[in-house]
A and B are shown apart, each in its own frame.
Chain A
């Protein structure tokens, strides 16, 4: 028995060794094929931490990388996370902060949370004076460089709101009317920033326990909710106004509209910030300033619009034709509310939404 066990052992070990060699070869080639561990940072360059939409293939950063290099001589290195929220986890790690120069794609709330890791100065150079739109300038913060923005509201399908059918809501309290029961899709505020902005927008006006009976679902993300909307699950979905631009590309923009609430519309501004390291990062690494300047030019702003489907923060940016139908925001509803209000909402949300009936 021992002899035959030795046979099996030896055979398995031999074939295991052989296969292990192949496995190691595959692993080594994979590792060499992947970038971060072995690749060295280019001597001149800037490392950007962002989320997947901005940083993945087909995203803004990949598209402008060669242009940036050609114009400035600075290389671009991108690390991206699943979503914007994971950016903060990254910033908590000292090792990660060492590698990264700029974090991009954070909104004002995330900026507030990450402040202890960021360089809180917008003093890039004296001549750096981007022509921000007025409402963007009104919300400026030291260390936060706005990059794009989006206004949010309900996008609706016009066929459901023809005369004799549903009437468009004009104020938030209309959503509690019986005719709007199961007629709109929201996003989970704990998992989605558009969703959070809705609940911040409606906080104090609508009770979550009342609203709970009305929404069709709280989707886990904006894209999941929009898929449901396009599948005709509900005639309204909470979304960015730039969704109208998407429908323009599909040549069905005439079928969709947005709800212009009396209370105004909430605004989400995304931006970038510099990681706080020893000394003045702008002086330590000139590529950082070059990057900020690069993004805040009209051509790059137009590129952002094309790739991110968000609105440019600068005045006078030429929008693609399909963005012509996206309205400029008339009244901003929710300003910089602060993370304390967000934390309070999140704490209340879990309790207020629980019920025993389903």
Chain B
């Protein structure tokens, strides 16, 4: 319990620079089970922030997980799960194979991967779609597969970029319940960008709000904790 309450993820002077503006996260500490709701107007840079945390876009400053700095690490060594806005499922693999990719990359044996993936897919009502090609999945099914792909190998942080976009309420609820249960079980902090804000804010333990600092600060956009 004590461990759960300690700072697990730390941001210090996290800064993303663009030619015409800056995006900063001055400081933030997250505990293991924190759910961070990222709120800002459209086009502010919420996705950019997530991408920078994942290492997909360059950023300055410090990012530490469990006391270890990872800001200098390449993407594939950061162990940060990312559910993309456009799913980005691999079209040459079926649903099950997509889910299993992260485990295979980590050398988990075939049988174990299969068991784990099947179990999780069943939990999200995908049992009938296990071997379906990606092209045949509906939007909601793809979203669930993308979520499982990012979670199954237990990342250190989970980044969600519009995970509930285009989903009906039932599916949204099902997914959010699943995520909350999974992250609670494994102690994974979550940063979530979602316009479906009701749910996101309801269980958020931290709200990160975007604010434009004005011309005096040369167009700097900052995220601060509310």
> Are A and B direct contacts in the complex by CB distance below 8 Å?
no
Q: Which residues of B contact A (CB under 8 A)?
A: none
Q: Which residues of A contact B (CB under 8 A)?
A: none
